[in-house]
Amino acid sequence: MYLWLSKTLYYGVQTFTGMKLYARLRKLEETQWYAREDLKELQWQKLKKLLQHANKHTSYYQKKFKKLGLSPKDIDGPEDFRKFPFLTKDDIRDNLSDLKARNIKHFVADCTSGSTGTPLTFFKERSTSGYFLAAKYRGHRWHNIDIGDKEVKFWGLPIDQKPKWREHIKDFMLNRTLFVAFDISRETLRHHFKACQRIRPKYMYGYSSALYRFARYLKEERIDAARLNLKGIISTSEVLYDFERKLIEHVFRCRMINEYGACEAGVIAFECPEGKMHITVENVYLEILKEDGQPAMPGESGEIVVTELNNFAMPFIRYKIGDLATCVDEEEKCKCARGLPLVGEIVGRALDTAITPTGKLLHAHVFNYIIRSAISHGADIKEFKIIQKDKHRLLIRVVASKKLREEYRNYITRQIMNLMGENITIDFEEVESIPLEKHGKFRFFVSEIPALRKDEESG
């Protein structure tokens, strides 16, 4: 489709549906240059307005305020706000009707992918989607990628016909070609590259694991992907690991760009051309908290707690999204000169937790470093997945071009035992491929320990 036609169609749909994407996008492109203090004040005023609305119009939050003996006017700063309880996925499932605002007449139902368990249903106003999309496209424009530019998207596709056709229509309007992320066979990846040669997309967008597997296939087949002349590749919905970024950038000879967000809150942070992750403070209030509930210090890792500031149909206040991130000094500035504050490394799901025989908890991200270290020492591992069967047993599935040598098995075993203790059994299983999760994502660690699994299935 011609770019001008794509933009015209999309503008018409956005206007008709009430999303007001373009107006919100213009505003975000203005506010990104505000001074840090002005952005903080804008964010706080939106938060106060949301709290007042929630207390007035939702039964769930009315009960919370009453139980705390507080009213919205009592919350004058971050310390006061931290008195407010967290919102969890179980809270949402158990109180869905009480969380919906009584004064909002028209709701749009949505749900998370449920890639680690049961999908979570929630509600929003249609205008909320306009805020979500505006944050996304603002980030795209930082890299000279605009609405309607030719796109190849590695994503899932609904099974039911009605939502499937809705996605096809959106693909048509947005000048977008969908590559379903579920099928990663070599034959399919070969067809994908041929399609890219024909389409000549400006950029790619999708799950980091799907983009990585595509890049790895092209490298193994010695296919020159640089001739596609992509202007950028945007990773979203999964943690983008350094090894994935390096390979993808090497194969395609273009910039890898990280987008961090969630269905429930939209784009939370986006990577600028300087490589820094800027928080969308106009749309979200972000906290990074240690286990004791106190804010993480610069350089420390903590759990992400997010308050979405624009969904008045069903407010998400202090929502435990299930991810971890590293805190950055709030005064740190970026060379790009945007006033938007920064967040450090997004290190993965809080629920991706291993447990040692002595009961110590470890974030599973550490296994990624161990396997990558083995690869750097010469281990021919293409993919891996670690399954914790119980506190005393790990199963490591690996995909390799040839049989994994004993020295590398011993190296991995020794490194894991250094972390988890000697009283753990580590089994290796070499397989031809590792299937994706049901929604097309890839998880390199899964716990089958019942207590942890229960938490995960609610995540």
Cα 306 from Cα 284, distance rounded (Å): 7
Residue 33 CA to residue 35 CA, distance in Å, equals 7
Q: In angstroms, rounded to a whole number, what is the distance separating the alpha carbons of residues 107 and 104? A: 7
Tokens 């500031």 -> residue = 309
Residue 160 is predicted with a pLDDT of: 60
| Assigned token pair, 412 | 């991995």
Under DSSP, the state recorded for 328 is -
d(CA 118, CA 419): 31
Rg from Cα positions in the chain: 23
| Structural domains of the chain ordered from first start | 3-349 (3.40.50.12780), 353-457 (3.30.300.30)
CA 443 – CA 426 distance, rounded (Å): 19
* Cα 223 from chain centre: 30
Instruction: Say how many Å lie between the first and final Cα of the chain, rounded.
Output: 39
pLDDT digit string (tens) for the chain, length 459 residues: 566 777 777 777 777 778 899 999 999 999 999 999 999 999 999 999 999 999 999 999 999 999 999 999 999 999 999 999 999 988 998 999 999 999 998 888 887 754 444 557 889 988 899 999 999 999 999 999 999 999 999 987 765 677 778 888 888 888 999 998 766 778 889 999 999 999 999 999 998 888 998 999 999 999 999 999 999 999 998 888 888 899 999 999 999 999 999 889 999 999 999 999 999 999 999 999 998 999 999 999 899 999 999 999 999 999 998 888 999 998 899 999 999 999 999 876 655 678 889 887 676 767 877 887 888 788 888 888 999 999 999 999 998 888 899 999 999 999 999 988 999 999 999 998 887 665 556 778 888 887 544 433 333
Beta carbons within 10 angstroms of residue 37's beta carbon: 9
Angle, vertex CA 135, rays to CA 269 and CA 18, nearest 5: 150
* Residue 25 to residue 308: CA distance in whole angstroms: 17
CB crowding 411-420: b at 16 or more within 10 Å, else e: bbbebbeeeb
Q: What is the 3-state secondary structure (H, E, C) of 220-287?
A: HCCCCHHHHCCCEEEEECCCCCHHHHHHHHHHHCCCEEEEEEECCCEEEEEECCCCCEEECCCCEEEE
Q: How far apart are CA 268 and CA 410, in angstroms?
A: 41
**What per-residue confidence (pLDDT) applies to 354?**
81
Q: Give 303's strand partners.
A: 289, 324
Quote the pLDDT of residue 339: 97
CB neighbours of residue 362 within 10 Å: 15
